[in-house]
Amino acid sequence: MSYPPQNPYGPPPGQQPGYGYPQQPAPYGPYPGGPMPGMQPQYPMAMPGGVKAARVLMFVLAGLNVIGLIGAVAGLGSVSKAAHHTSPYATTDTTSMLNVGKGILIFLIVLIVIFSAVAITLALQCANGGKGVRIGAIVFGVGTTLVSLVTFPLGLVHTVLGILVIALMGKDESNSWFTRPRY
């Protein structure tokens, strides 16, 4: 027997505990080199809450756009009615101003129709669309925010909702939803 007695379960004398190769966690799971062969990464099976919220916000934006469309069409009717009731002896400034007003309102109506159609299309495609739907929703949110900043006091609700759509679609859970495999 040697002196001091050797402990087979502990470190040798004079050596620090934990000396040697330290244990490191596996980078991709409990198996060295990655996940167990044959296993697929887990994707969400149901639409995440952020995507559902962004979808609802796009439907709300489309509804608000329809209300704005009704107002713009009513305004166009009023301007057209005023243009018809102007005196034939009125100055050309009055007539040209009314024509400019009509042109602006027609441009606004076309813009509102485009934004409403895009919002409804993207919201409907959130359930089964791919990565393009997510990118389209983010671009739609940016476009809505920029256009609403032009009409700031009236477009404040659109600004807030556009920013929320951008934030919700930019989350990781949204990315995993839109990049999941589809069968």
For 40-51, write each residue's pLDDT tens digit.
Answer: 557 777 888 999
Residue 110 clears pLDDT 70, i.e. is over it: yes
List Cα–Cα distances, 45 to 51, 157, 162, 169, in angstroms: 13, 32, 27, 17
Residue 10 clears pLDDT 70, i.e. is over it: no
DSSP state of 29: S
What integer pLDDT is reported at residue 111 of this predicted model? Answer: 93
- Lowest model confidence (mean pLDDT) among 45-54, 92-101, 171-180: 92-101
Percent of the chain with pLDDT over 90: 44
What integer pLDDT is reported at residue 142 of this predicted model? Answer: 96
Reference 174, options 105, 126, 140; nearest CA is 126
Positive or negative: CA dihedral 145, 151, 152, 154: negative
The residue type of 39 is: M
Reference 173, options 39, 43, 76; nearest CA is 43
Q: pLDDT higher for 87 or 171?
A: 171
What's the predicted TM-score (pTM) here?
0.70
Q: To which H or E segment does residue 131 belong?
A: helix 131-150
If you compute the radius of gyration of the chain from its CA atoms, what whole number of angstroms results? 32
The residue type of 151 is: T
